[in-house]
Amino acid sequence: MAQILMFIYDLIIFLSIFIIVTNGGLIPCVSDADCPEELALVMKCINKLCELVMEIED
């Protein structure tokens, strides 16, 4: 019985991680203003999807 519960627990964790990884990074946008602002990350609208961009400061 304990093995069945452990299997179900592992399956739920695996499926939730799989769903987050496959759908988590796709944020639709029209302009850069539509992308969320993070503390140290810069996101820009590229091909109508928000993508992380590395900006080099002078």
Cβ atoms 56, 46 nearer than 8 A:
no
For residue 55, the one-letter residue type is: E
Collapsing DSSP to helix, strand or coil, 44 comes out as: strand
> Whole-structure pTM over 0.75, yes or no?
no
User: What sign has the CA pseudo-torsion 6, 11, 12, 17?
Assistant: positive
Tell me, what's the pLDDT at 15?
A: 80
Q: What does the pLDDT look like over 2-56, one tens digit per residue?
A: 899 999 998 888 887 777 666 666 788 999 888 887 766 788 898 988 888 876 6
